[in-house]
Amino acid sequence: MFLRCFTYKGLVVQLLPGSPIPNSLNSFSVYTASSKKGDNMTKRVYNFYAGPATLPLPVLKKVQGELLDFHGTGMSVLEISHRSKEYDEVHKKASELLKQLMGIPNDYKILWLQGGASTQFFMVPLNLQIVGKPMEYVNTGNWAKKAIKEAKLYGDVKIVASSEDGKFSYIPKNVQFSSGASFAHITGNETIGGIEWQEWPKVPSEVPLACDMSSNFMDKVIDVKKFGVIYAGAQKNLGPAGVTVVIVREDLINRVPENTPTMLKWKTHVEKDSLYNTCPCFAIYICELVLEHLQSLGGISAMEKQNRKKSKLVYDVIDKSKGFYRGVAKQDSRSLMNVTFNLATPELEAKCVEEAKKKGLIGLKGHRDVGGMRASLYNAVSLGGVQVLCEFLREFQENNQ
């Protein structure tokens, strides 16, 4: 059992479940304490970084407890063979949990790969290209542009829609993909602009839709059947950096040219159940624990409700600030995961970031390419942490407007 505690004027105060956030945040330090007798109190901050991101505390505690002796093996999971019976159970369970939680149909394969979404930026066109047919992309920001750049190495790329005219502050509407495309590609959520697809675009039945869901993977319930390929770096909602999940429809696996390097074929990893080479065992093990934890909370539908509640709290602070905080994303494109906003000057933003750090609120500085501020509200960010952030933002406005 874990208790929420804070220090206030030198006193350690325990927050009981359901108790309100303190009105004053002076001298606020965030702690998570184990109630088990003899355990030391461990300092924990509220982590709003865009990634790697916060992980569920029960998962970290379990990892800590099993680190030296994994399931009675006398070895750490960092040390055991990826061919061992003990790891095989982890590997299979991770895939099964993901399949259950997302409702992944039987004609889709789950891959656990390395190289991040950035490697899938070229593996997607490499595996899905059809000679003589264009690859169609929607340009919604920094990550979409990186995917487009890699696709151009393999053939004709057609940009069917873009929000660059609005500095990537919105998701284009009424996107039309052609029936003659090899595949269609979108970026589910742009962490820098803080924009997210609210409704998935329609594609011709013969054209597979590929989606980079790195920063909004499992943030809401989706219909996997709408996609030919889903890929995501794990380090936002699924686990630590070091593993990338790819969900690919079975009929697409054999499209890849035969002269493609072995490791770059999805087919290779499908045939070997992601064990063609040594997989990132530790990262997949943590993903399995995160999925187990998510299941215990009620699954993705319960998490979606929580995410909508969290993001609304922060957007309400922005919208009610009378312009002190200015949201970056258009309201109909706002991200559940990355809330982006500006203050009047870069100096005021820097002051806000620094004062937030003193209150145990970390990672609020915007992306280096655009500046501003950003609060990333991934699945493991608690509702309580978001409430603390909102209270701080209101107090900062009161003291600085």
Is the confidence at residue 211, as pLDDT, over 90?
yes
What does the pLDDT read at residue 216? 98
Is the confidence at residue 231, as pLDDT, over 50?
yes
What does the pLDDT read at residue 137? 98
Which of 236, 265, 267, 359 is an active site residue?
236
Local confidence band at 41 (pLDDT 50, 70, 90 cut-offs): low
Q: Is 143 a catalytic residue?
A: yes
Is the confidence at residue 345, as pLDDT, over 90?
yes
Q: Which residue has the higher pLDDT, 372 or 1?
A: 372
Answer for the pair 116, 233: CB distance below 8 angstroms, yes or no.
Answer: yes
Q: Tokens 């609120």 — which residue? A: 361
What does the pLDDT read at residue 165? 97
What does the pLDDT read at residue 368? 83
What does the pLDDT read at residue 40? 52
What does the pLDDT read at residue 31? 43
Q: What is the mean pLDDT of residues 50-62?
A: 96
Is the confidence at residue 72, as pLDDT, over 60?
yes
Distance CA 192, CA 215 (A): 10
User: Of how many residues is the chain composed?
Assistant: 401
Which of 109, 112, 143, 265 is an active site residue?
143
User: With pLDDT > 90 as the criterion, what percentage of the chain qualifies?
Assistant: 88
What does the pLDDT read at residue 370? 84
Local confidence band at 386 (pLDDT 50, 70, 90 cut-offs): very high
Q: What is the mean pLDDT of residues 258-268?
A: 97
Distance CA 235, CA 237 (A): 6
Distance CA 101, CA 104 (A): 8
Q: Which two tokens stand for residue 53?
A: 């991101």
Domain spanning 85-296, CATH class: alpha beta
Mean pLDDT, rounded, of the chain: 92
Q: Which residue has the higher pLDDT, 109 or 371?
A: 109
Burial state string for 353-384 with b = 16 or more CB within 10 A and e = fewer than 16: bebbeebbbbbbbbbeebebbbbbbbbbbbeb
Is the confidence at residue 221, as pLDDT, over 90?
yes
What does the pLDDT read at residue 361? 98
- 165-208 pLDDT, tens digit each: 999 999 999 999 999 999 999 999 999 999 999 999 999 999 99
What does the pLDDT read at residue 371? 83
Local confidence band at 82 (pLDDT 50, 70, 90 cut-offs): very high
Is the confidence at residue 328, as pLDDT, over 70?
yes
- State the DSSP code for 213: -
The number of beta carbons lying within 10 Å of the beta carbon of residue 347 is 9
Half-sphere exposure of 266 (CA within 13 A, CB side): 30
Which of 212, 219, 267, 310 is an active site residue?
212
Is the confidence at residue 305, as pLDDT, over 90?
yes
Answer for the pair 54, 34: CB distance below 8 angstroms, yes or no.
Answer: no
Q: Is 212 a catalytic residue?
A: yes
Q: Is 197 a catalytic residue?
A: no
* Among 10-14, 131-135, 302-306, the least confident range: 10-14
The residue extents of the domains of the chain are 1-44, 85-296
308: alpha, beta or left? (left if phi > 0; alpha if psi -120 to 50): alpha
